[in-house]
Amino acid sequence: MAALPSFSLFLLLLTASQLQAFEFHEATVDSINQAFAAGHLTSRQLVEFYLDQIRRLNPLLRAVIEVSPDALREADRADAERSSGRLRSGGLHGIPVLLKENIGTRGPLNTTAGSFALLGSFVPQDAGVVGRLRRAGAVILGTASLSEWAHFRGDYIPNGWSARGGQGRVTDPCGSSSGSGIAAAANMAAVTLGTETDGSILCPSTLNSVVGIKPTVGLTSRAGVIPISPRQDSVGPICRTVSDAVQVLEVIAGYDARDSATVEAVKYIPKGGYKQFLKIDGLKGKRLGILKDYFNYPLGSVEAKAFEKHFQTMR
Ligand SMILES: *[C@@H]1O[C@H](CO)[C@@H](O)[C@H](O)[C@H]1NC(C)=O
């Protein structure tokens, strides 16, 4: 007779876990996809959450320059496709993405690198990485602020400042992908894209405690991205987790006829992509060096405490 109670307990647990409300804060690509698949969440609900976060937080944080007037419509389309069984491959179907504002989109968003000089300019075509995101069914949520002209406006311009976006907050958000870093940290988007010429993904990721990947030049197309140096520019993800960043990289990496550097670089994309290397115990047995000089924060400061917490997590 023991089988009966444990069987009903199993049913009870199953029901309880199915009813669990979706946790919007710190949501990951995996948790979002699970909730989509279980019918607990729609792309529209997710976009509405992030639009609300932006509305509430952006007056202070200044991470976002524009939200897309098409975002809800794109979310509805993603939801409709999903419910009719047409799921796009790549794992970003219905997932809202925020783009650094130097990454071109073909209307209605402006692409200005934060400067008034380009406002109203006509961008004839999506950037290569935006085309890939759209084909994967991602929702373009809006544009993230940046250090204007990706920090090539001039000397002594503060990190995270642009004429159109204002001064991005945390004490020093670093840059130039400041808005992407702040927005990822403050749950203003599911995932974001930044660009790097010299530290512009890695530095804001560090100072906002999020995860950035700076791909090898040419691994992601620069077509349609406001350029600085063809030898160094690269587009990459800024996200809350390593897994999220890898999943975005997998969608945006690849050949683009409009960026000749992709011809060489795509040869190095591993068969089966990058997700296969995501291992929960991937750091086990690894020896990490910590640059104590670089992380030399005042004793008892917020930074020192955050650093100690991350350090213990690694350990
Ligand atoms: C783009 O800039 C124009 C001003 O030139 C503005 O009217 C429009 O609202 C902007 N687009 C978005 C999506 O904010």
Same domain, 240 and 290: no
Active site residue 200: yes
**DSSP-derived secondary structure for 225-256:** B--S-TTT-EEEEEESSHHHHHHHHHHHBS--
Instruction: Determine whether the shortest distance from the Cβ of 111 to ligand 1 is under 6 A.
Output: no
Both tokens of 30, joined, read 């995996």
Nearest CA to ligand 1 atom 14: 66
Strands of 168-225, DSSP E: 191-196, 211-212
Position 1 in a domain: no
Same domain, 40 and 174: yes
Same domain, 233 and 299: no
What is the rounded (10 degree) CA torsion for 117, 192, 238, 159?
30
Closest among 246, 189, 293, 36 to 180, alpha carbons compared: 189
Same domain, 238 and 156: yes
Same domain, 115 and 21: yes
Same domain, 232 and 288: no
Residues (pLDDT < 50) of the chain are 1-8, 10-12, 14-19
Same domain, 124 and 210: yes
Same domain, 146 and 259: yes
C-beta of residue 182 within 8 angstroms of C-beta of residue 221: no
Same domain, 299 and 197: no
109 CA → ligand 1 middle, Å: 7
Q: How many CB atoms lie within 10 A of CB 275?
A: 12
- What pLDDT, in 10s, does the model give residues 43-85? 999 999 999 999 999 999 999 999 999 999 999 999 999 999 9
* Distance in Å from the first CA to the final CA of the chain: 47
Rg over CA atoms, the chain = 20
Both tokens of 139, joined, read 């929702």
162 CA → ligand 1 middle, Å: 16
Quick one: which atom of ligand 1 is closest to the CA of 110?
1
Instruction: Determine whether the shortest distance from the Cβ of 197 to ligand 1 is under 6 A.
Output: no
Q: What is the DSSP letter of 90?
A: T
Q: Using a CB cutoff of 8 Å and minimum separation of 24, what contacts does 264-273 make?
A: 264/218, 265/216, 265/217, 265/218, 265/219, 266/218, 266/219, 268/216, 268/219, 269/219
The enclosing domain of 211 has a CATH number of: 3.90.1300.10
The one catalytic residue among 200, 205, 221, 234: 200
Instruction: Determine whether the shortest distance from the Cβ of 110 to ligand 1 is under 6 A.
Output: yes
Active site residue 115: no
Instruction: Determine whether the shortest distance from the Cβ of 140 to ligand 1 is under 6 A.
Output: no
**For a pocket test of ligand 1, which of 66, 109, 111, 112 has the largest count of ligand atoms closer than 8 A to its C-beta?**
66
**What residues make up the domain containing 290?**
282-315
Same domain, 270 and 294: no
Instruction: Determine whether the shortest distance from the Cβ of 234 to ligand 1 is under 6 A.
Output: no
Position 74 in a domain: yes
Q: How many CB atoms lie within 10 A of CB 169?
A: 17
Residues 144 and 142: their CA atoms lie apart, in Å, by 7
134 CA → ligand 1 middle, Å: 21
Quick one: which atom of ligand 1 is closest to the CA of 68?
13
Instruction: Determine whether the shortest distance from the Cβ of 272 to ligand 1 is under 6 A.
Output: no
Position 209 in a domain: yes
Quick one: which atom of ligand 1 is closest to the CA of 66?
14
Position 197 in a domain: yes
Active site residue 100: yes
198 CA → ligand 1 middle, Å: 30
Residues 294 and 210: their CA atoms lie apart, in Å, by 17
177 CA → ligand 1 middle, Å: 21
Instruction: Determine whether the shortest distance from the Cβ of 249 to ligand 1 is under 6 A.
Output: no
31 CA → ligand 1 middle, Å: 33
Domain total of the chain: 2
Same domain, 250 and 289: no
C-beta of residue 171 within 8 angstroms of C-beta of residue 152: no
Res 306: pLDDT: 87
Closest among 214, 16, 18 to 100, alpha carbons compared: 214
- Compute CA distances 310 → 78, 245, 295, 305, whole Å: 36, 18, 12, 9
Q: Which residues pair with 67 in a beta bridge?
A: 142
Res 20: pLDDT: 64
Res 3: pLDDT: 43
Position 226 in a domain: yes
Same domain, 210 and 291: no
Both tokens of 32, joined, read 């979002």
